[in-house]
Structure 1
């Protein structure tokens, strides 16, 4: 009787460990939450450009990135 209990415990432990190894497989997940709108981001970007905080090239690149982000 004790051997049966030990075998069952061993089987349970092996199953648990084998299932635990399946958790994720290195998959990457990206979760992002944005509390601003595209319009607000574009207005902030424009204000930064008008204040001389960013160059025309930086402005164009950032604008393109914002439009792409909301295009999805």
Structure 2
């Protein structure tokens, strides 16, 4: 009886843990201010990580969010 309980508890734990990290959509939150996002974006442009077009689009999106 104790063995059955231990197996059941172990299985339930595995199911709970895999359910939390299972392949569903994730939600990301950002604590960066709009100003910090713009600074980071400019740094990415300056380092060549993103193109001028990508920078312009992302900058516009950030500025649009600021107006909301």
Aligned-pair RMSD on alpha carbons?
1.8
Query: Which structure features the higher share of helix residues?
Result: 2
Structure 1: gaps spanning 5 or more residues: 1-31
Q: What TM-score, normalized by structure 2, do the two folds share?
A: 0.56
Which consecutive segments of 4 or more residues in structure 1 shift more than 2 A? none
1:48 aligns with one of 44, 50, 57: 44
- Partner Cα separation in structure 2 for residue 52 and residue 63 of structure 1: 16
- TM-score where L is the length of structure 1: 0.53
Equivalent pairs counted in the alignment come to 42
Which whole-Å deviations, capped at 9, do the CAs of 1:13-70 have from their partners, x for residues lacking one? xxxxxxxxxxxxxxxxxxx854111110000000000000000000000000000011
Q: How many angstroms apart in 1 are the aligned matches of 2:40 and 2:31?
A: 14
Alignment correspondent of 1:61: 57
Structure 2 residue ranges without an equivalent (≥5): 1-27
Query: Which of 1 and 2 has greater Rg?
Result: 1
